[in-house]
Amino acid sequence: MGRKSAIVRFHRAYWPGFSDQGDRTLLKPQKPENEAARLAALHRYEILDTDGESAFDDLVAIVAGVCSVPMASVSLVDADRQWFKAQQGLGDSTETSRDVSFCGHAILNPLQPLIVPDALLDERFCNNPLVTGEPCIRFYAGAPLLGLDGVAVGTLCVMDVQPRRMEDFQVRALQALSRQVSYLLELRRVSRQFNLQLQEREWYEQQLQHYQTELEAQNADLAEQTRTDPLTGLPNRRAFAAALATHMQKPTSGHARLAIAVLDIDHFKNVNDLHGHAEGDRVLVELAAMLKAQFAGRGMAARYGGEEFVLLMPDTTLEEARLQCEYVRQGVAVLPLGLPLTVSIGLACQQQDGNPEDMFKRADEALYRAKRNGRDQVVVA
C-alpha cells in the first residue's frame, strides 16, 4: 500500500487530471501491421517453450554487465504473451502477458531501440503492473530482434528498478548484441534443419560443425571485445589497468620491481595529415606487432588510446627497464614502414605504498618531459 500511495501522489503532482479510480486503463501495445508475417517468422524458429541454452544466457549476462543493470532478457513476443528464452534478475518468470509487456511496444519500430528512462514519467507505462508492482521496473531499453525478412520477433532488453540514462556506447552495445541474438536464432534454426538429415548426408554434419564453431568464436570475440583494442589486437586500457593493479599487489624482492612505461609516437598527426588515416592505422598496427612480439614472454604491451601505448615490466630493475625501453625506441626507428618514425617514452618504477594511478601519472609526466626535451628519447620519472 505504501508504494501504491506514493505512485498515486506522484502522478497527481505531475498530471492534474490523474485519477486512481478503477476507470483507468492500461495502454496496451498495438499490434504491427505485419503481425501475421511476424508471427510466422517467429514460429519458424521453433524456439518457444524450449529449454534454456547457455549461448543465450551468455549474451544476456554480457548485455547486463555492459549496461550495469540487474535485469535483462531475450524476449520473444508471441500472439498473446512475451516469453523469455533467457533472463537475468526476473526470478522464476518465463513469460508475461503481451498486454503488459514493454517489448510489445519495442517491436513496433524494428529499426530503433526503445529506451524508457523513467517508466513513471511515460504515459504508456506509468500504470503498468510491472512498474507499480514486482519487478518494479523504472528503466527499460530494448533492441528488436530481426529475422532474415526484417520483421521483429522479440527484443534483447535491459531493465532497472532505478530511473537512468544510457551512455552512447551502451546503446551501441545493446544493438550489437541484439544482432548477435538474431544471428544465434538463425543459426539455431539452420542447425535444426541440419540435424534432421545428419544420418543421410555427411555434408550437413560438416556445415553444422562449421556454424557451431563460428558461433563459439563470435561469443569468445564478444567477451574479448571488453579488453582488446580492435585495431591492433593488443590489450586495451581497461585490460592494462587490471593487470597493473594485480601486479602491484604482488610482493617484490631485492632491486627487482614493477615498472611501467608510456610510449607516444612523435608527430603522429603529421602521418595522418600527410599520408592519410589508413597509413596512420598501418603504422599503429606495425608498431603494435613489434611491441607484442617483444613483450610476449614477459610483461604486457597495451594500446592506451590514439597513438599512445603502455608497457608493463614486472620483476625488473630500473636499469633493465630503461634498457628495454631504449631497445624499443631504437627498434621503432628501423621499422620497415617507408617513412621516418620515432617515439618518446616515459618510465616509472613502483614506489613503496604507491598506487596504480600515481605510478601511471609519474610515467606520463616523464613522457611529457621527453617530448619537451626534443622527443625520440627515454626519460625516467
So what's the pLDDT on residue 192? 84
Higher-confidence residue: 346 or 9?
346
CA distances from 6 to 2, 237, 297, 359 (A): 6, 44, 61, 50
Cell of 47: 524456439
Contact 173, 66 (CB under 8 A): yes
DSSP 315-362: EE-HHHHHHHHHHHHHHHHT-SSSS---EEEEEEE--TT--HHHHHHH
Contact 125, 114 (CB under 8 A): no
Catalytic residue among 307, 319, 326, 365: 307
DSSP 108-121: TSTTS-EEES-GGG
d(CA 263, CA 274): 22
> What percent of the chain is modeled with pLDDT above 70?
88
So what's the pLDDT on residue 253? 65
Torsional sign, CA 289, 294, 295, 297: positive
Q: What is the largest CA-CA distance in the chain?
A: 80
Cell of 155: 527484443
Whether the per-residue pLDDT at 323 is higher than 50: the answer is yes
Average pLDDT over residues 263-274: 94
The yes-or-no answer on residue 326 being catalytic is no
For residue 17, give the 3-state DSSP assignment.
Answer: coil
d(CA 42, CA 39): 5
d(CA 35, CA 33): 6
**370-380 burial code (b ≥16 CB/10 A, e <16):** beeeeebbbbb
So what's the pLDDT on residue 8? 43
Find the angle CA(75)-CA(115)-CA(60) to the nearest 5 degrees: 35
**Is residue 135 reached through a cis peptide bond, with omega within 30 degrees of 0 on the bond before it?**
yes
pLDDT tens for 29-57 read: 999 999 999 999 999 999 999 999 999 99
pLDDT tens for 183-224 read: 999 999 988 887 776 656 666 667 778 888 887 777 766 666
Cell of 185: 536464432
Higher-confidence residue: 192 or 365?
365
Whether the per-residue pLDDT at 316 is higher than 70: the answer is yes
What are the structural domains of the chain? Answer: 21-225 (3.30.450.40), 237-380 (3.30.70.270)
Q: What is the pTM of this model?
A: 0.49
Average pLDDT over residues 211-240: 81
Contact 113, 175 (CB under 8 A): yes
Whether the per-residue pLDDT at 339 is higher than 80: the answer is yes
DSSP 192-247: HHHHHTTTT-HHHHHHHHHHHHHHHHHHHHHHHHTTB-TTT-SB-HHHHHHHHHHH
With bands split at pLDDT 50, 70 and 90, how would you rate the model's confidence at 9?
very low
